[in-house]
Amino acid sequence: MGLLSGLAHFGLGNLENMEVYEKSEKTDNMETDKSAGKVVREQDFLFDKSCSCPVCNGKFKTKVVRSGKARLTGSDQDLCPHYEQLDVLKYDVIMCPLCGYTALSRFFEFVTPLQIKNIKSTICANFKLQGETGEIYTYDEALERYQMALANAIVKRAKASERAYICLKTAWILRGRAAHLDADQPDYGALKKQCEDKENEFLRNALDGFQAARQSEGFPMCGMDQYTVDYVIAAIAARFEQYDVANRLIGGILQSAPNPRVKDRARSLRKAMEEKRRQNDAGGEG
């Protein structure tokens, strides 16, 4: 199954096998708030924001997390954020339900006339009008929205960094989906592996895209400075045991990055890589 499998739901099955880059570019919705002794609903953190589509000029509403409501509790090694009581990542894609134009919120308003032309001829011409969503976006709905954002990015020939960033965040959505699967369901193991395999596929595409973007684009990139992008590349490379790539970038971060937090993360990543290599060596000896 490809990265875009499932777009047939939107009438775009012909786009499911698109390549992300050109050849040259290489839940649960309720939790208990123990401090207050009450049930907190995911929808309590959301509101419907009015949007105007820059492609079809249609008016619609999209679900957005209320400013200051979600509390960050930590992040994974590759900077995937974690929040209390809801996954904010599910709400970072805006999709016009009238024409199918979709993008991450930071990119939604910024489309050129040529990009609009490409989107209209490839996306809008085949898009199936979508009905109302529920009070929240499920992980499956969020995944579909990210896939639509990636399809639009490919069609409009967005920068490699934008496509890579969508792939990275889609991988995080799949990670969240796996974490929220019901362990008691009969097909839990198969579904979890499916999420993990697809997460890795998106991460590999994110790695390819960021490496290509680093060679051809300026900074900031998707809101990240050079050293944050280098750290993300290093973290993904380390996951796939590309230690030469990771170590080279970590060295640059430790030598030149002005932000001490990025340096601390780089040191932690280097330590984690060394530990993993020791474990691999020990396993090989056994």
pLDDT tens figures, 191-212: 999 999 999 999 999 999 999 9
- pTM value is 0.88
Question: Is the per-residue pLDDT at 86 higher than 70?
Answer: yes
Domain identity same for 207 and 284: no
pLDDT of residue 24: 53
**Which domain does 268 fall in, by range?**
225-286
In whole angstroms, give the CA distance from residue 45 to residue 273: 37
Question: Is the per-residue pLDDT at 99 higher than 60?
Answer: yes
Number of domains in the chain: 2
Domain identity same for 206 and 239: no
Domain identity same for 179 and 266: no
Give the DSSP letter string of 19-49: -SS-TT-----EEEETTTTEEEEGGGGEEEE
pLDDT of residue 27: 41
- Mean residue pLDDT of the chain comes to 92
Per-residue confidence band for 26, with pLDDT thresholds at 50, 70 and 90: very low
pLDDT tens figures, 234-274: 999 999 999 999 999 999 999 999 999 999 999 999 999 99
User: Is residue 2 assigned to a domain?
Assistant: no
pLDDT tens figures, 38-84: 678 999 999 999 999 999 999 999 999 999 889 999 999 999 999 99
Domain identity same for 239 and 171: no
Domain identity same for 121 and 250: no
User: Is residue 63 assigned to a domain?
Assistant: yes
Domain identity same for 133 and 198: yes
Domain identity same for 116 and 171: yes
With beta carbons less than 8 A apart as the criterion, state whether 56 and 124 touch.
yes
Domain identity same for 209 and 252: no
User: Who has greater pLDDT, 7 or 98?
Assistant: 98
Nearest to 62, CA basis, from 158, 150, 174, 145? 145
